[in-house]
Amino acid sequence: QKEVEQDPGPLSVPEGAIVSLNCTYSNSAFQYFMWYRQYSRKGPELLMYTYSSGNKEDGRFTAQVDKSSKYISLFIRDSQPSDSATYLCAMSGNTGGFKTIFGAGTRLFVKA
Amino acid sequence: GAVVSQHPSWVICKSGTSVKIECRSLDFQATTMFWYRQFPKQSLMLMATSNEGSKATYEQGVEKDKFLINHASLTLSTLTVTSAHPEDSSFYICSARTGAHTGELFFGEGSRLTVL
Looking at per-residue confidence, does B93 or B51 come out higher? Answer: B93
Residue A63 sits at the chain B interface (C-beta within 8 Å):
no
Task: Please determine, for residue B100, whether its predicted confidence score (pLDDT) is greater than 80.
Answer: no
pLDDT tens, position by position, B16-69: 999 999 999 998 888 889 999 998 888 899 999 998 888 899 999 999 999 999
Number of other CB atoms surrounding residue B114 within 10 Å? 14
Region B99-104: mean pLDDT is 68
Residue A88 sits at the chain B interface (C-beta within 8 Å):
yes
* Cα B114 from Cα B86, distance rounded (Å): 7
CA distance B50 to chain A (A): 12
Residue B107 sits at the chain A interface (C-beta within 8 Å):
yes
> Residue type at B45?
M
CA distances, A34 to each of A13, B21, B57 (Å):
23, 26, 23
**Burial B39-59, CB ≥16 within 10 A → b, else e:** eeeebbbbbbbbbbeeebbbe
pLDDT tens, position by position, A12-30: 999 999 999 999 999 999 9
